[in-house]
């Protein structure tokens, strides 16, 4: 299935599903597809990892509520999450 991959568009497509994957909301067959891709795509593995950590961090801060993130970090987090197709709880 993998000949010379049209790497970036495939990655981009899957990256839009990563937040759902992390949230456990992705349909099983899409999960399997994503995992297959992750198995041989280092780039996406790194993105998954980073996104997972970012979301975790973000949620922790949201839960604490009173702790304000420095604006520079807040906007970087938001950007990272937006890139991953993740909508933060505060945006609803
Ligand atoms: Zn990829």
pLDDT tens readout for residues 10-61: 888 888 888 888 888 899 999 999 999 999 999 899 989 988 888 888 777 7
CA of 54 to the centre of ligand 1 (A): 19
**Per-residue pLDDT, 42:** 92
pLDDT > 70? residue 3:
no
In terms of pLDDT, which residue wins out, 64 or 54?
54
CA of 57 to the centre of ligand 1 (A): 23
Is there a domain that residue 79 lies in? yes
Show the domain range for 43: 7-86
Is there a domain that residue 92 lies in? no
pTM of the model: 0.58
- Cα separation of 83 and 91, whole Å? 15
**Per-residue pLDDT, 6:** 53
Is there a domain that residue 20 lies in? yes
CA of 5 to the centre of ligand 1 (A): 10
Is there a domain that residue 42 lies in? yes
Is there a domain that residue 2 lies in? no
- Cα separation of 52 and 27, whole Å? 18
CA of 67 to the centre of ligand 1 (A): 35
CA of 53 to the centre of ligand 1 (A): 18
Is there a domain that residue 77 lies in? yes
| Distance, first Cα to last Cα, the chain | 39
Look at the block and give the residue holding tokens 């197709």: 85
Query: How many domains, in total, are found in the chain?
Result: 1
Is there a domain that residue 29 lies in? yes
């Amino acid at each position: 299935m993998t000949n010379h991959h049209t790497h970036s568009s495939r990655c981009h497509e899957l990256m839009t599903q990563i937040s759902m994957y992390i949230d456990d909301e992705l349909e099983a067959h899409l999960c399997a597809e994503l995992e297959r891709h992750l198995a041989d795509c280092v780039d996406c593995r790194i993105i998954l990892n980073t996104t997972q950590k970012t979301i975790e961090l973000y949620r922790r801060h949201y839960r604490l509520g009173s702790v304000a993130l420095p604006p520079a970090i807040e906007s970087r987090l938001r950007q990272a999450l937006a890139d991953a197709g993740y909508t933060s709880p505060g945006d609803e």
